[in-house]
Homo-oligomer: A and B are copies of this chain.
Amino acid sequence: MNRILRIAGAQMGPTQRADTRENTLARMISLFEQAASKKVDLVVFPELAFTTFFPRWLLSGPELDSYFEMDMPNPSVQPLFDCARRLQTGFYVGYAELTPDGRRFNTAIIVGKSGEILSKYRKVHLPGYVEPKRENKFQQLEKRYFEYGDFGFACFESPQFKNAVLGMLICNDRRWAEAWRVLGLQNVELVCIGYNSAAYDPSGGDGEDATLRSFHSKLVVQANAYMNATWAISIAKAGVEDGAGLIGGSCIVDPNGQIVAEALTLKDEIIVADCDLSLCRHGKDKMFNFSAHRRPQWYGLITEQSGTLSPSHLPGGNENIA
């Protein structure tokens, strides 16, 4: 079986608070059509792709609710699903989900070539904080607006995508090696990621700038793709949204951690790559043959605790000099 999956990233430029949903959908459909003209199987859109990155503001009431999708699809996004069916091309997209019982998640779905939802993921690693920080020009209120994802990290396969083992992450998740490893332990072959990452230090200080944050964004995708012998595609919403900068740096990375396609702008832009899924085998069979080389008996702290332990609380330590 041919195991070359052609994928596209649809990096999006900024979406302003005042932009209409119709305008945003028109941009997405234009990107979708550009990608489909290159005969791709799957197009990856960013996190929270239908709206501006609203967690940067303290909001409530109707405006806050306007950023959430109560059904998926719904009339305002239906054109994207119709586009999938018309172009016979799948897509990944991130959106703010409001469930019928009032729960809110930062969610992504992969939609098949007939416009059917194939899998859904809810972001586990929510950055930011609950209470606004008065001293910050822009907030990072994801912990206020969303619950932690409750599905964990699951993979799925579909004959629509050459039976590639697909996994999803969202934005900050890509910085957490645990998330990648749980996908890796399910033999993942392509990790799809959308993000909105500030081009300034999101903690309000001046410890990070756009150059450093773009470096971090690529570094974690490259290294975690290599360490799990998987393809990865990491796609930004980029540019300046109502005065707040977002980095670009969308890229497609091979199982050696090498960038094979990369966005050059902070605007709407398509990147494309042919992913030979068989290239995952070298790493999965040799260096990262998990059953041959992993030693879970020494990984206990990873699941036993969330925060840090001081060294003196551990067995061993300075005692290991016998």
A106 lies within 8 A of chain B by Cβ? no
Asked whether any CB of chain B lies closer than 8 Å to the CB of A161, the reply is no
A162 within 8 A of B: no
A286 CB within 8 Å of chain B: yes
The stretch among A22-30, A83-91, A300-308 that forms the contact with chain B is A300-308
Q: Is A118 an interface residue (CB 8 A)?
A: yes
Which residues of chain B are near A298, meaning CB under 8 Å? 124, 149, 152-153, 178-179, 182
The answer to whether B181 touches A320, judged by C-beta atoms less than 8 angstroms apart, is: no
Interface presence of A316 (CB below 8 A) = yes
The contact string, 1 if C-beta is below 8 Å from chain B, for chain A 177-199, is: 11111101111000000000000
**Selected contact of A321 from candidates B119, B222, B314, B320, CB within 8 Å:** B119
Chain B residues with Cβ below 8 Å from A256 are: 212, 215-216
A177 partner, pick from B148, B186, B227, B322, beta carbons under 8 A: B227
- Would you give the 0/1 interface string for A117-155, flagging 1 where the beta carbon is closer than 8 Å to chain B? 111110011110000000000000000000011011111
- The interface stretch among A4-12, A43-51, A267-275, A289-297 is A289-297
Complex copy number for this chain: 2
CB pair B203–A125 under 8 Å, yes or no, is no
Least CB separation from A152: chain B residue: B298
CB A80 to nearest CB in B, in angstroms, measures: 17
- Minimum distance in angstroms from A70 CB to a CB of chain B: 14
**Interface membership of chain A positions 197-231, coded 1 if the CB is closer than 8 angstroms to chain B and 0 otherwise:** 00000110101000010011001101110110000
Q: Tell me how many residues of A have a C-beta within 8 Å of chain B.
A: 85
The chain B residue with its CB closest to the CB of A222 is B219
Q: Is A318 an interface residue (CB 8 A)?
A: yes
A282 to B153, CA, bound (A): 28
Q: Contact: A155 with B317, CB < 8 Å?
A: yes
Chain B min CB distance to A121 (Å): 7
Given contacts A118-B321, A119-B321, A178-B181, contact A296 B303 (CB under 8 A): yes
A57 sits at the interface (CB 8 A): no
CB pair A175–B314 under 8 Å, yes or no, is no
Q: Is A114 an interface residue (CB 8 A)?
A: no
- Give 9 A-B pairs besides A205-B282, A295-B306, A296-B304 with Cβ atoms closer than 8 angstroms: A120-B322, A125-B294, A152-B298, A154-B311, A175-B288, A178-B294, A203-B282, A299-B302, A299-B303
Q: Report 15 cross-chain contacts, Cβ distance below 8 Å, ordered by A residue.
A: A119-B318, A121-B320, A153-B298, A155-B317, A165-B311, A176-B293, A177-B224, A181-B301, A185-B307, A203-B287, A219-B219, A219-B222, A223-B223, A284-B308, A302-B303
